[in-house]
A and B are shown apart, each in its own frame.
Chain A
Amino acid sequence: MGRLLLRGVRQAQSVILIAILLLLDLPSLLPSLDAYSSQWLGWLWYGLLVAVAAVDAVLSARGAFWGRTAWPVALGVLAVSTAAAASLPTSELLGPAHYTFGVVGWFGLVLFADRRIRTVVAFVLLHVAVTAALLAVRGVLSEQLVTLATVALGVSSFQFALMAATLVLRAIAERATEVAVAQAEAATQEAIAREVHTDREARYAALRETALPLLRGLADGTLSPTDHAVQRAAAVEAARMRRLFSEQGDEATLLAAEVESLVDVVERRGVRVRYAARPLAVEPPPEVRRSLVEAISGVLLVTTRVARVTVGGTGRDVTVSVVTDGDVGGSGDDAPGGEHVRTSTVVDGGRTWVEARWLIP
């Protein structure tokens, strides 16, 4: 927003310059062309100034500044103004024919639009000094000094007024930018926090549905800790809680990270796991990720000796897979499928292979 404001100021300055050249200076030039030592010289100086203003208009429209070319061009403008004055008779100096005296300051404004105000002031003073030197050469400085000062002050006060306005606008723009950035940052943080919170709430809700009955059953003695099915259910819930607690905002949301945390759980029980993960074409959304992990966690968590665990897929799907060579009791048929996730189980020669596949929509 601040950028837009500054760009607006820059374009306004360019428009003012062109308006002055066309509406103020051209009417001054036309009746006084005869004053120039030759008419084409009058057109030449005017043409050069219009050319610089035109280039500036293009830059301004593109949101660009003169940058390093500002000083050379500024000195060029100064030279044109001085040459124009030099080609006028002494009587016409500081009169309507000497219109360039008034417009040079406006050039200073646009050429040094990205610099400090003191650069523009220095340029304007330099121009007045050069003009004074020309008057001195013509031997009329002392009698014209008051006129020079009056005209210079009259013209420059407009320019300095605009500069002051620019300064104020620039300060407002910077402040506006800061505020806008801060607001965007706050909004993003808030959105992330809300997302994480919703995700956690959903997980806690899922835990309440499954972990609480299990704990209650163990507490009141209706479930036995020695029961194989109870042990398996407890292992599943423990891994779920572990995933829930390990989640760190937007960082640990990767499918592979969740599968690895499951692998950690079983490796600490002494199971030898051969784990391989390939980069995925698409990171699955959270609910799909959960379905994929749940689909393999049941069979993986009851593995007692060796397991092969993979995360991978082609350009069209994402798969997680577990092969175990232990007796997994009840296989993985009851693993929850979830939306868009297909689970397939193969039992062969004492091995059980469960694969969960999500087709990328």
Chain B
Amino acid sequence: MADPLTGRRGPTVVIVDDHPAIVDGVRAWCSGADPPIEVVDSGNRPAAAFAGAGADADVVVFDLLYGSQPDFSSLRRLIQAGRRVIVYSQEDSADTVLRCVELGVATYLTKSEGDEHLVPAIHAIAEGGTYTGPVLSGILAGDRRPGRPVLSEREREVLIAWFECESKQLVARRLHISVKTVDTHIERVRIKYADTGRPATSKSALMIRALQDGIVDLDDFDDLGGDG
């Protein structure tokens, strides 16, 4: 949708969710966003994201649960098709969230996280960036699986603080760093996770972006040890 005053085109999304109230709510948040987000289609089955207007949407807002079963196979097909997927689900178990992160979702937000997280997430991800909400942050901080990426003390501190206070200003104030540095730490963690079990395409995209933003330089790539 082109803004009549500035000519800026907002991002497009397709919503896959079997609860009409959620679809309507997300639609309302999108139309009130700045810049506005255009909902090109919605449906209660993943097909809405594969065919019709939804097939070309910048971002897929995807409810993982249909009934009580998580639909990992549709999620995998979307990611393999190169789509940027935000899982927006009421499910918040660490197992499910970490599995989605490993499949390569752009981010995972729980339905307890409202427009203050979903709207910035859509904006960031439509532009090829990442967004890490407080719940995902708390789960990454508490990840104790063998083979998980090694996080620095500072990174863990930032993740847990962001989970606790839901305010990057407060995190920055408490750790005596800038808000930008808070974002940098979180982004670094996402790159480390991208390096373990992510499809190469989204992985290299993240790497290139991290290079452009100056979050990492070429020397760091030896440490990361990835093939991207």
To the question of whether A and B form a pair in one complex, the answer is yes
By a beta-carbon cutoff of 8 Å, the part of chain A in contact with chain B is 274, 276, 278-279, 281, 308, 310, 312-316, 319, 321, 323, 344, 346, 348-349, 351, 353, 355
Q: How many residues of B contact A (CB 8 A)?
A: 22
Q: Do residues B142 and A323 form an inter-chain contact, with CB atoms below 8 A?
A: no
Do most interface residues of chain B lie in helix, strand or loop, or is the interface mixed?
helix
* Minimum CB–CB distance for A258 against chain B, Å: 17
CA distance A97 to B164 in the complex (A): 89
Point out the residue from A278, A315, A321, A349 that lies within 8 Å of B169, measured CB to CB: A349
Point out the residue from A279, A313, A353 that lies within 8 Å of B165, measured CB to CB: A353
List chain A residues, Cβ under 8 A from B169: 348-349
* Minimum CB–CB distance for B149 against chain A, Å: 13
Q: With A278-B94, A313-B142 known to touch, is A353 a contact of B163 (CB < 8 Å)?
A: no
CA distance A308 to B170 in the complex (A): 13
The closest CB in chain A to the CB of B164 belongs to A321
The closest CB in chain B to the CB of A321 belongs to B164
List chain B residues, Cβ under 8 A from A344: 174
Q: Do residues A308 and B166 form an inter-chain contact, with CB atoms below 8 A?
A: yes
Q: Which of B112, B141, B159, B164 has the most CB of A within 10 A?
A: B164
Q: Please tell me if B40 contacts chain A, counting CB pairs below 8 Å.
A: no
Point out the residue from B134, B159, B170 that lies within 8 Å of A346, measured CB to CB: B170
Q: Please tell me if B39 contacts chain A, counting CB pairs below 8 Å.
A: no
Known: A274-B112, A281-B144. 12 other contacts (CB 8 A): A276-B138, A278-B139, A278-B142, A308-B164, A312-B141, A315-B142, A344-B174, A346-B170, A348-B169, A349-B169, A355-B161, A355-B164
CA distance A261 to B63 in the complex (A): 31
Q: Do residues A278 and B174 form an inter-chain contact, with CB atoms below 8 A?
A: no
The closest CB in chain B to the CB of A320 belongs to B164
Question: Which B150-201 residues have a C-beta within 8 angstroms of A?
Answer: 156, 159-161, 163-167, 169-170, 173-174
Q: With A314-B141, A314-B142 known to touch, is A319 a contact of B170 (CB < 8 Å)?
A: no
* Minimum CB–CB distance for B161 against chain A, Å: 8
The closest CB in chain A to the CB of B166 belongs to A308
List chain A residues, Cβ under 8 A from B141: 312-314
List chain B residues, Cβ under 8 A from A321: 164-165
CA distance A308 to B134 in the complex (A): 11
The closest CB in chain A to the CB of B135 belongs to A276
A-B contact pairs, 8 of them (CB 8 A): A278-B94, A278-B163, A308-B164, A312-B160, A312-B164, A313-B160, A315-B142, A353-B170
Point out the residue from A274, A308, A314, A323 that lies within 8 Å of B160, measured CB to CB: A314
Point out the residue from B112, B144, B164, B173 that lies within 8 Å of A319, measured CB to CB: B164
List chain A residues, Cβ under 8 A from B174: 344, 346, 353
Point out the residue from B138, B161, B173 that lies within 8 Å of A348, measured CB to CB: B173
CA distance A345 to B141 in the complex (A): 21
List chain A residues, Cβ under 8 A from B164: 308, 310, 312, 319, 321, 323, 353, 355
CA distance A313 to B139 in the complex (A): 9
Q: Do residues A276 and B134 form an inter-chain contact, with CB atoms below 8 A?
A: yes
CA distance A346 to B167 in the complex (A): 12
Contact with A along B122-158 (1 / 0, CB 8 A): 0000000000001100110110100000000000100
Point out the residue from A310, A316, A351, A355 that lies within 8 Å of B138, measured CB to CB: A310
List chain B residues, Cβ under 8 A from A349: 169
List chain B residues, Cβ under 8 A from A348: 169-170, 173
